[in-house]
Amino acid sequence: MRKRLLPLLLCLLSPLSLWAWGVDGHRAVGKIAENHLSRSARRAVKELLGTETLTLVSTWPDEIRYYPEFKDTAPWHYVNTPSGLAHDAYIQAVKTQTTANAYSALETNLRILGDESKPAAERASALKFVVHLVGDIHQPMHTGHAEDKGGNDIKLKYRGKDTNLHSLWDSGLIDYQGLTYTEMAQQYDRKLPNRQVHALQKSAPEQWLWESYSASEKLYQETPTDTDVDYKYYPAHADLMKQRIVEAGVRLAGLLNGVLG
């Protein structure tokens, strides 16, 4: 019992900077993905998850990584690279990293998920990681710089409270809205044109990472250090936050339609 209690306490005491998009953000991604699943993919998800849903399992990889048997998954949640890389150099850097990261973890879990010879429990675990990792790599600061831990070391004040650049994007902007994940999914995913859905789903994960990296480079440049982030920050960045969440949900559905459909 004590072995299980300690990781739970660590989870409760850990800063929100460990949760990409926060609970509501990840669940909004899962909810949007459910809206865009094909019938066959929806059926396959049901067979693998049983009574669980994409929405609810979206936070599972964050919840279990405090347990000793999952400690090796900690680096799976981000991809850190140097600043100032052009497109081709960035893609090359991501693909040739020898350490575990979100890109390699996503590729691995997609292979497991698509392998019907694997045990159902292993494929279900892979599905949960795929759901979460697609959300992670759409959060700009999960493609930040290694030297500042993806913005965790860039200290700020937001709404009068101490925070950092990473946490601001994980949960600060989402919490400011005061919306539930269901409300977020409904508002963000309002009848996207089919052509837009198809265009989003045709792109590859390395392109999604490049988009996040490009956004993070701008966020680094414009964010002050050791000072307040004022009331203008949310309206200036809300559209980017919403865009990345809806893109993650639509693209997640596209992946699952391809692998499970």
Instruction: Indicate which CATH number applies to the domain containing 218.
Output: 1.10.575.10
Q: Is position 254 within any domain?
A: yes
- Do 29 and 134 meet the contact criterion of CB atoms below 8 Å apart? yes
Range of the structural domain that residue 235 is part of: 30-260
Least confident of 8-12, 174-178, 252-256: 8-12
Confidence check: pLDDT of 211 > 70 = yes
Q: Is position 17 within any domain?
A: no
For 142, the token pair is 């999960």
Measured CA distances, 35 to 39, 53, 135 (Å):
11, 12, 16
Confidence check: pLDDT of 5 > 80 = no
pLDDT value for 3? 45
Q: Is position 4 within any domain?
A: no
Measured CA distances, 111 to 16, 45, 65, 255 (Å):
30, 16, 21, 11
Q: What is the pLDDT of residues 22-78, one digit of tens each?
A: 899 999 999 999 999 999 999 999 999 999 999 999 999 999 988 999 999 999 999
Q: Is position 22 within any domain?
A: no
Mean pLDDT of 218-240: 89
d(CA 64, CA 73): 9
Q: Is position 40 within any domain?
A: yes
How many distinct structural domains can be found in the chain?
A: 1
Which are the contacts of 66, defined by CB distance < 8 A and separation ≥ 6? 7, 8, 10, 11, 14
Residue 163 DSSP class: E
Which are the contacts of 19, defined by CB distance < 8 A and separation ≥ 6? 26, 59, 62, 170, 171
pLDDT value for 66? 87
Q: Is position 25 within any domain?
A: no
pLDDT band (50, 70, 90) for residue 205: very high
Q: Is position 243 within any domain?
A: yes
Q: Is position 228 within any domain?
A: yes
Confidence check: pLDDT of 9 > 80 = no
d(CA 28, CA 21): 9
Q: What is the pLDDT of residues 172-187, one digit of tens each?
A: 999 999 999 999 999 9
